[in-house]
Structure 1
């Protein structure tokens, strides 16, 4: 069954700054909360909107291997990472970044479908509901901190 997860946040900064952070090679690592470990296996991205990224997410001793394709999103400051192979039946994550009066609004919209069997049990535990909310709350804080560092603002 396909479902949609959406998380929105507003942080200080601009769409240009957030997209610049997302384009840094270590952004996926900085956006991954402990105790999860993000391991890049092969990075064939030519830009944040073009190419493929092969990686493993380690939840302790449990590896989840992914191959995702990065492609343009629905607006200028957006991109999609689409799982080509991995633990889910479907994972299409659109990152939408818009300038708003109070800073920048970041919308993460994910189309998710789980596989059956034991893999589906694990993905429901790690990539759905409350775990996804916690992940994207962490990502909001990490993005805010990264944009502050980029602009020389070091206070909370």
Structure 2
């Protein structure tokens, strides 16, 4: 099964990074244009929490239902229960590098369907696209955590 890994650091303590990622509106915050995230339902972050949302790629809606597990201050995993891929498991890990710096490691295990559905997911969720998405998320995360620190 293919995997995608992306690691970066932010100038923020572990608790700030964890709180940011556990916020139920974070998916909208971390979704860069031209993609739009429409949240239908998002349980408070906990083991078994369900998130239902649509990612809009222009006029194309991709509906997801993800279930969260392994939720802790050090991260969580969201697993696609329904969605555009045959399999998608996204693990977010947060590790304190120092009292004011945290490493974020994103790992995705994914598998495409066959047929037309698989062609679409290969176009939208190939490694180059995931790299661009997570590079944007890195910048967005750093921006928001820096802004939080400055207003605190």
| TM-score strictly above 0.5 | yes
**Range into which the TM-score falls when normalised by the shorter chain:** over 0.9
The change in CA–CA distance for 1:138 and 1:69 in structure 2 (over 3 A counts) is: same
Q: Separation in 2 of the partners of 1:80 and 1:35?
A: 25
Give how far 1:89 is off. 0.5
Count residues with an aligned counterpart. Answer: 150
Q: CA deviation at 1:49?
A: 4.3
1:78 is aligned to 75
Structure 1 unaligned regions, length at least 5: none
8 Å Cα contact 2:23/2:45 also seen in 1: no
Structure 2: gaps of 5 or more residues: none
Confirm or deny that 1:60 pairs with 2:58.
yes
1:1-156 superposed matches below 5 A: 2-43=1-42, 45-72=43-70, 76-101=73-98, 103-152=101-150
Structure 1 segments of 4 or more deviating over 3 A? none
Alignment TM-score, normalising by the size of structure 2: 0.92
1:26-78 deviations in whole A, cap 9, x for unaligned? Answer: 210110010000001122x23254410010000001111100001115x7511
RMSD of aligned alpha carbons: 1.5
CA contact (8 A) 1:49 1:80 kept: no
